[in-house]
Structure 1
Amino acid sequence: MQFIMTFFWTFLLTEMLTYVVSSMNGIEFNFMTGLVLAIAATVLMFVLSTLLTDEHAEQH
């Protein structure tokens, strides 16, 4: 459930960001750009969360 909700909110925020930036630049909104950014951001968040664990703090 954690993965689904993280992707859901990341998807909503990146689509909103894509819409606003494309509107400000005067170009056509592209749904796929937001989707690709959402997938990349979600994967990056999960990779960083696994790398930055508190295991080192618990050992001391």
Structure 2
Amino acid sequence: MRFISAIFWALLISGVISYVLSSMAGDPFNFTHTIILAGILSVGVFALGGALKEESDH
């Protein structure tokens, strides 16, 4: 369940970031860029969460 919620929030936050940046640049909103950014954020969150959990176990 935590992976689904992390992907959902990454997609939501990426959508907002992509919308704001494309509006500031005057470009049309591109959902493909949103999905790519969400993937990068999800992988970063999973990696950071795994690294922090391993350190706290020792």
Where does residue 24 of structure 2 map in the other structure?
24
Question: Structure 1 runs of 4+ off > 4 angstroms?
Answer: none
- Report the CA distance between 1:13 and its aligned residue: 0.8
2:43 equivalent to 1:43: yes
Q: Give the 3-state SS of the residue equivalent to 2:29 in structure 1.
A: coil
Where does residue 55 of structure 1 map in the other structure?
57
Unaligned runs of 5+ in 2: none
What fraction of aligned residue pairs are identical, expressed as a percent? 39
Which structure has more RCO (C-alpha within 8 Å, separation ≥ 6)?
2
| Residues 9-44 of structure 1 deviation map (CA, whole Å, 9 limit, x = unaligned) | 110110111011100110111100010110111011
Please report the TM-score for the alignment, with normalisation by the length of structure 2.
0.87
Where does residue 34 of structure 1 map in the other structure?
34
Please report the TM-score for the alignment, with normalisation by the length of structure 1.
0.85
Q: How far apart in 1 are the matches of 2:43 and 2:49?
A: 10
Q: Which has the larger radius of gyration?
A: 1
